[in-house]
Structure 1
Amino acid sequence: MAKMSKEYWEKRQHEREAKAYSSILEVEKEYKEALERARINISKNIAYISDKYMKDNRLSHNKAMKLLLGDDYKAWKRDLHNYMKEWKQLKRTAPWEARKLWLEIETLSARSRMNVLDTLRAQIDYELIQVSDKAVQATGKALFAVYGNTYQEVVKDLGVKSMFSENMVKAVIDRPWSGANYSSRLWGNSEKLARVLKQEVATGLIQGINLKTMGKRISDRIEGAKKNDVERLLRTEVNYTMNQATLDGYRDAKIEKYTFDATLDSRTSQICAGLNGETFELSKAVVGVNYPPMHPRCRSTTTPVIDFEALGKQLQRKEESDKLTEEEFLAVRKYIGGQSYALNESLRNRRELSDDYKQWSRDLDKALDKMPKYQGEVTRSIGFFGQKEQLKEFLQIHKVGEDVEYPAYTSTTKGEIYNPDADILVKIKSKSGRDISSMNKEEQEIVYPRNSKFTVVNFKVNYGKYEIEMEEKDE
């Protein structure tokens, strides 16, 4: 059992890492696309200047200092309004960056004259400000979801109650864990790239470099940022967030030790390779020393050190009146262990089950039939982690007087509310929910079989949280 359980934990951690890793790839793609749009816009402006002011495909420093007149100056003033719009947005999302942008706007607005070089520099700033603002917001949402999903899966696997809250997540992702947090790093990368691009422009004009060559240099700089800075930053931040969620789950489950796991990193660094398989005390975990991430793009993770024999004995405490077969017992244990997420997701979306899932469901159905029925109120906490459309869809089908059917197994608790900070709290007057708490003392879990039906009898909102009351529907 100990060996199987250790392999199970390694597999679960690898699945969680892969899930977290894939979630940031969409943000990475959007970030790179935004940088590409910025590159195109800057290149267009260089091409325009090239057509209007160059001679022999070159722009002299004197020409670069040429004042904008007529329509060009009017167009520049219109662009200044775009800066103002961006400033208003940044006031809400990035106050520190907004203050810096405001100083720039004031400086530009105060000028009655503007030269060609100034317009190129200002456009670089403007384009990269837009890129960074959107990237910071998208990254924050993605990291929030990574933490929430990882933490709740870890504590579920460990059989303890979730202590998840939004403040808990913000404290982690906003923490300057290696001198800065994700937001500061994104803005810092943007400022660094802006300085490099403006230097390319200034140097090119002073040296009289061909404008086509200048455009190529700027494109190369942006391509380098897309490949190196974007990937390195986002992939490192997602590894940090996932591992911090795991660490918090260990703490809540009273885990005392963990084992370092570097097997996922295809290009394992020397330091990660040296730590692989090593066991450390949880109280002495330090990021970058003995806890991942250890380096940029790190994909290492950890597994908890558990007394699996003691855990096995605990799980075998069940009602003596209805003995479960070994297959039925293992089906419940597997459900409690956290693999229920994948099974329930398939059932909820009415997908064709694999042969393994079909057998598991059959064994679980038989096991639940043997478990005692629970009478009394049970609760179910549901979090949507900022996914407003899914929350809206759930509320639309849970209206007072309406009947709802859950194609998946439905887990509830008869003890304290599982997660008081969740978006939705469902209360059910149980008469036939199956009591499996003898196999999971921590959660006091009551499970409803698949395809259970309920009637919504009450709905209310308390301090921005939704509360739904339901009754079992008699067949």
Structure 2
Amino acid sequence: MPTTDPTRTKTLRDAFGSDASKRFRSIKGDVRESVEELDILQLGTQRAVNSAPDPREYEFLSNPEKRQRFQAWLREQVDNGVLETTSGRAVRRGEHWTAQYVQKAYAKGVTDAGAKIRQQGGDAQVLENLEDIFNQPVHSSKIELVYARAYDGLEGITQEMDTQISRELSKAISQGWNPRKAARKINDRVDKIGMTRAKTLSQTEIIHAHAEGTLDRFESEGFTEVEADVEHHTAGDSRVCPKCASLQGTTYTLEEARGRIPIHPRCRCTWVPIVDD
């Protein structure tokens, strides 16, 4: 019976998702402390808390100024704790927390591709560690694109979260929400936009990195065509996922295959080489 996860990357996906969730939970703690406990927006009675912004800095600000100053502070917390804003060059060098996960997924794609080639009687060198893989020019240059894609995805999530938090802040001030309700509404956006989408990102980017590593290895070994090794439902009935079924039984050139996997969130398909007769 076909495997339900041809990539065998669950450990990596879980680790990436757990790391992302931990960072967004820290942001939620910042929001609770500053908005509910410290009442930085002056929505209710203040209580002394030895962290977050100084409420005296907000005392004589207009409502729009309060919102803007608080959001700038929260954006800084997100930049430091989740996004870890850095230069594009540093991202492409893998100097970001997301890089450790996608690098391992890419490397696994490379080694898995070698195993598939050998299974079909081909002669592919066994690459046993990351140094072996990334010392090869084809892989050291391609991984830069994988790093950048993961970072860009995370940046997009934080920007959308920032936009929606701005709306909640405006409503909190204009409608006179109490501090607890304001903190809850803001943290709902951290949950629904930040944490939820970051978990999906972690799964998507692991599978994308694995697929690209696989295709790059096939290309370096002289293969020109591939077909999909599709995932199957976990119920054990061997039915192919409907969206993944569009890949099954079709031969693609390497160029055509680029970017097709993952075909949907939580997809776990991969590629196998076509051996010329």
Task: Indicate the TM-score class for this superposition, using the shorter chain for normalisation.
Answer: 0.7 to 0.9
Pairing of 1:352-431 with structure 2 (within 5 A): none
State how many pairs are aligned: 243
The answer on 1:41 being equivalent to 2:25 is: no
Residues 168-223 of structure 1 show CA distances to partners (whole Å, capped at 9, x for unaligned) of 4453343289xx71111111211211221122112210122233222111121111
Instruction: Measure, in 1, the Cα distance between the counterparts of 2:85 and 2:10.
Output: 20
Number of the residue aligned with 2:189: 221
SS at match of 2:97: helix
The answer on 1:241 being equivalent to 2:209 is: yes
SS at match of 2:263: coil
Stretches of structure 1 that go unaligned for 5 or more consecutive residues are: 1-6, 59-67, 77-110, 311-475
Number of the residue aligned with 1:174: 144
TM-score by length of structure 1 reads 0.45
From the superposition, tell whether residues 235 and 265 of structure 1 become closer, same or farther in structure 2 (CA, over 3 Å). farther
The answer on 1:305 being equivalent to 2:255 is: no
Number of the residue aligned with 2:177: 209
| One-letter code aligned to 2:193 | A
Number of the residue aligned with 1:424: none
| One-letter code aligned to 2:253 | E
From the superposition, tell whether residues 279 and 53 of structure 1 become closer, same or farther in structure 2 (CA, over 3 Å). closer
- Identity in percent: 16
8 Å Cα contact 2:105/2:207 also seen in 1: no
Stretches of structure 2 that go unaligned for 5 or more consecutive residues are: 47-52, 118-122
- Higher relative contact order at CA 8 Å, sep ≥6: structure 1 or structure 2? 2
Q: Which has the larger radius of gyration?
A: 1
Instruction: Measure, in 2, the Cα distance between the counterparts of 1:118 and 1:49.
Output: 17
Instruction: Measure, in 1, the Cα distance between the counterparts of 2:202 and 2:178.
Output: 35
| One-letter code aligned to 2:133 | F
SS at match of 1:120: helix
2:71 maps to which of 117, 121, 144:
121
TM-score by length of structure 2 reads 0.72
SS at match of 1:209: coil
Instruction: Measure, in 2, the Cα distance between the counterparts of 1:237 and 1:175.
Output: 12
SS at match of 2:21: helix
What RMSD over aligned residues (CA atoms) do the two structures have, in Å?
A: 3.7
Instruction: Measure, in 1, the Cα distance between the counterparts of 2:165 and 2:240.
Output: 33
Instruction: Measure, in 2, the Cα distance between the counterparts of 1:214 and 1:176.
Output: 38
The answer on 1:272 being equivalent to 2:241 is: no
| One-letter code aligned to 2:145 | R
SS at match of 1:164: helix
Number of the residue aligned with 2:229: 261
Residues 415-460 of structure 1 show CA distances to partners (whole Å, capped at 9, x for unaligned) of xxxxxxxxxxxxxxxxxxxxxxxxxxxxxxxxxxxxxxxxxxxxxx
SS at match of 1:151: helix
Instruction: Measure, in 2, the Cα distance between the counterparts of 1:144 and 1:72.
Output: 46
